[in-house]
Amino acid sequence: MEETNPWITVESQQIYENNWIKLTEHQVINPSGGPGIYGEVHFKNYAIGVLPLDDDLNTWLVGQYRFPLKAYSWEIPEGGGSFDLPPVAGAKRELLEETGLVATEWMEIQRMHLSNSVSDELAIIYIARGLTMGIAEPEETEQLVLRKVHFDEAYEMVINGTITDSMSVAALLKTKLLILEGKL
C-alpha cells in the first residue's frame, strides 16, 4: 500500500470553534469511492504532560473530576502548551501551576497523537528532575488534589486500571522502560 491520502474532500464546513478547538465537517469520497462525512477536531495547542521524579523516584499525581468522562481521574500534571512557544515552556508552566514544583532538568520522552481518528492533537510528554517545591497556581477551572507517591505505586495504578488517562499511561509505561533499561 502506498502512503498517500485515499480520501477526496468535496466540501468542508466549520461547525464550531472556541479558544481551544475547531470542529470541521468534511463531505468526502471515502477510500472505497463512496460518499461520506468526516468530522475533524483541530486543537489550537499542544497537549503537554509532565512526570516529575525526585531522586528517590517519588512522583506527584493530580486528581480531578473530568467533565467529559463524568468521573474522577488521577493523572500526571497536564495541560495545553501554546504553538507560539517551545513545548517545554508549557511543560514548565503546567508543572508549576498544578503542583508548585519547579524543575532544573527536562527530558522529552514521548510524542503521540491522542485520538488520530478524529483529531490532530499532538501530546508531548516530559520527565522533570531536579525538583524544588513552590506554591501551586491552579487555574480557576481546576479543583485539584495533589498526591505524592513512589513511582512504583503510580506504575501499579496503571497496571490495575486506576490511571486511565492516555498521557499518564504512556508516561508511566515509558518511564518504567527507561528505568528497566538503566537510562534513568
How do residues 66-105 score in pLDDT, each as one tens digit? Answer: 999 999 999 999 999 999 999 999 999 999 999 999 999 9
Question: What is the value of pTM for the model shown?
Answer: 0.92
Residue matched to cell numbers 507560539: 84
Beta-carbon contacts of 69 under 8 Å, excluding residues fewer than 6 positions away, are none
C-alpha cell of 9? Answer: 474532500
Furthest C-alpha separation in the chain: 58
Per CATH, the number for 45-180 is 3.90.79.10
Q: Is the pLDDT of residue 55 over 90?
A: yes
pLDDT-based confidence at residue 1 (cuts at 50, 70, 90): low
Residue matched to cell numbers 483541530: 42
pLDDT at 140: 75
- The sheet carrying 101-113 orders its strands as 78-82, 45-52, 122-133, 101-113
Domain ranges of the chain: 8-43, 45-180
Mean residue pLDDT across the chain: 95
Length of the chain: 184
Q: Is the pLDDT of residue 119 over 80?
A: yes
CA separation (Å) from 177 to 38, 106, 127, 164?
A: 37, 18, 13, 18
Q: Is the pLDDT of residue 142 over 80?
A: no
Which helix (DSSP H) or strand (DSSP E) does residue 170 occupy? helix 166-180
Strand partners, 8: 29
- The alpha carbon of residue 56 and the mean position of all alpha carbons in its chain are separated, in whole angstroms, by 25
CA distance 81 to 143: 20
Q: Per-residue pLDDT averaged across 115-139, rounded? A: 93
Residue 75 CB neighbour total at 10 angstroms: 21
